Structure 1
């Protein structure tokens, strides 16, 4: 049974807050105790493979479906549907009328969100012009590529200047050029104070865009926090080439160090780089190249969620109708 929500859950610094969300469908538990905190004005990514529970979580946050258990608060409302006019939502299942022109499709989505049609048409023109797409205005949706049509729907999602934008797998099926356009739109909105949540199974998008992420696997949150916190779970990696192949300096390497085509690769010891450098110099190792690299989000994801979940991230999502 759904627990009663207390207004005290809400924090003014958070656009979205959820505690212990659970969703059961018949015999299947799709979401199992998800808790999230999305600070106002940030870009937040739900990261996980297809079927992890990302879409169900977003729909519960928006009030499209009710949780079986748990609490959530969106833009100060413990009943998220009351904040619908302040939210722009792009569902995973896209849908535009094929015969509509791009400008009219954007304006129509604005009218559905309470705008006067004349205002929506004016704003549609502005959005197309701002994004260098004014030549699309009179093109019917059926003549646009999948990526172009998706960009039109994204513009329709933000036409009413929402405080919160929620995008479900927005990069799915986009070519690199249109991915870049969408990333610029997301960054521009965030710079203007809009809170953005998007789900993705592509780690690179989350690493480039997000300040905070939640890694979801099998309906549970494996990690929630800043991207740099996720990466900090792994020690930096040392890559080293030396003129000498042997010497007392080798004792400064961890046992797991490996040599790959003349390059030593190992985790930076907990003592830090100074003792390592001293051993190399004092031992006349002859440093040719030395780099200390922070692990990327992909490596952190593997460490947090496991190899099987990381491999599942490479599987494309099912095709949905344009």
Structure 2
């Protein structure tokens, strides 16, 4: 386990991270979310020991992170850092050796990774000849090839199409299932929902939400309903406890003042029997993110 305890980081008068407490545990994915400048990248840099905390501590199994521990950390920075005029093989083998792999093992693993991530290109190609998406997948291979125990990913899916995003997610989840600790940032709440076990939301360096993703959503109540029914939007809007009704496709999205109103909606739309769709859910992470940002402004 990695524990961040009462962690603070200031740059002059600017508070980047304030009294942060967070646990990263084996076999779990932590999603770190927040607006630009909320403190996500600063947190990553402290985990990597690129910068020192102003106060507080970071420990791995109750001990300070050592140079040896760092060989078990994979990092994918938001600013991609591949050498454009080097071949894929040259730099992947270099990074793998830095983390304790032999060149022969890394060379075998690289060929497997190129297939698994469906990289269009050869290991002898220079990075500058690859498309942006394929170069990003090569950078991901550099972060994962040595099977890190801690994986830190800063906006790993930025610029990727849905197919390649899914490929990357599958490898992150495979690593998680093999016992790695994973923390990643993303502005896409759908991606955060898909692969995060736990969530930490930062606002100006302070934690405003933290816990298991589904538990956080449930705290806000099941106040979102999607329904497909012959009942009109005006009839739905007239139900006590329905705050808004918005058409979506062949149905309607409803926002409720409280989840008990869902019973009244259900009774009305099913009064004549079967309907194609009725789903009552908590707000999405995107809804919660927007709400919390507004509250804490």
Out of 149, 165, 172, which is 1:186 matched to? 172
For residues 75 and 110 of structure 1, do their structure 2 counterparts lie closer, same or farther at Cα, with a shift above 3 Å needed?
Answer: farther
Residue 300 of structure 1 pairs with residue 288 of structure 2: yes
Q: Please tell me whether the aligned partners of residues 213 and 227 of structure 1 are also in contact (alpha carbons under 8 angstroms).
A: yes
Residue 76 and residue 107 in structure 1: after superposition, are their counterparts in 2 closer, same or farther (change >3 A)? farther
Structure 1 unaligned spans of 5+: 1-14, 310-322
Secondary structure of the residue that 2:151 maps to in structure 1? strand
**Residue 44 in structure 1 maps to residue 30 in structure 2:** yes
Residue 204 of structure 1 deviates from its aligned partner by 1.9
CA distance in 2, matches of 1:47, 1:189: 21
The yes-or-no answer on 1:33 pairing with 2:19 is yes
| Whole-angstrom distance in 2 between the partners of 1:113 and 1:191 | 21
- For residue 63 of structure 1, report the CA deviation from its aligned partner: 2.0
Is 1:68 equivalent to 2:57 in the alignment?
A: no
| 84 and 245 in structure 1: CA distance in 2 versus 1, 3 angstrom threshold | closer
Q: Which residue of 1 aligns with 2:78?
A: 92
Residues 1:107 and 1:76: Cα distance change in structure 2 (over 3 Å): farther
TM-score, normalized by length of structure 1? 0.78
- Using the TM superposition, give the Cα deviation of residue 194 of structure 1 relative to its aligned residue in structure 2, in angstroms: 1.9
- In the other structure, the counterpart of 1:109 is 95
- The residue aligned with 2:220 is 234
Q: Which residue is equivalent to 1:161?
A: 147
Post-superposition Cα deviations, 1:208-241, rounded to whole Å, max 9, x if no partner, equal: 1111111111111111111112211222223454
Unaligned runs of 5+ in 2: none
Question: What is the TM-score of this pair, normalised by structure 2?
Answer: 0.84
Out of 122, 129, 133, the residue aligned to residue 136 of structure 1 is 122
1:307 CA displacement:
7.0
- Rounded to whole Å, the distance in 2 between the matches of 1:162 and 1:268 is 46
> What SS class does the counterpart of residue 23 from structure 1 fall into?
strand
Correspondent of 1:265 among 238, 249, 254: 254
Q: Which residue matches 1:217? A: 203
Q: Structure 1 stretch 223-232 or stretch 79-88: which is displaced more?
A: 79-88
Once the two structures are superposed, residues 226-285 of structure 1 have per-residue CA deviations (whole angstroms, 9 ceiling, x without a partner) of 1112211222223454658999x999622x53455695834274547556656777xx68
- Name which one, 1 or 2, has greater alpha-carbon Rg: 1
CA RMSD of aligned residues (A): 3.2
Per the TM alignment, residue 129 of structure 1 is displaced from its structure 2 partner at its CA by 3.4
Matches of 1:290 and 1:212 in 2, distance apart?
Answer: 30
Structure 2: distance between partners of 1:62 and 1:222: 23
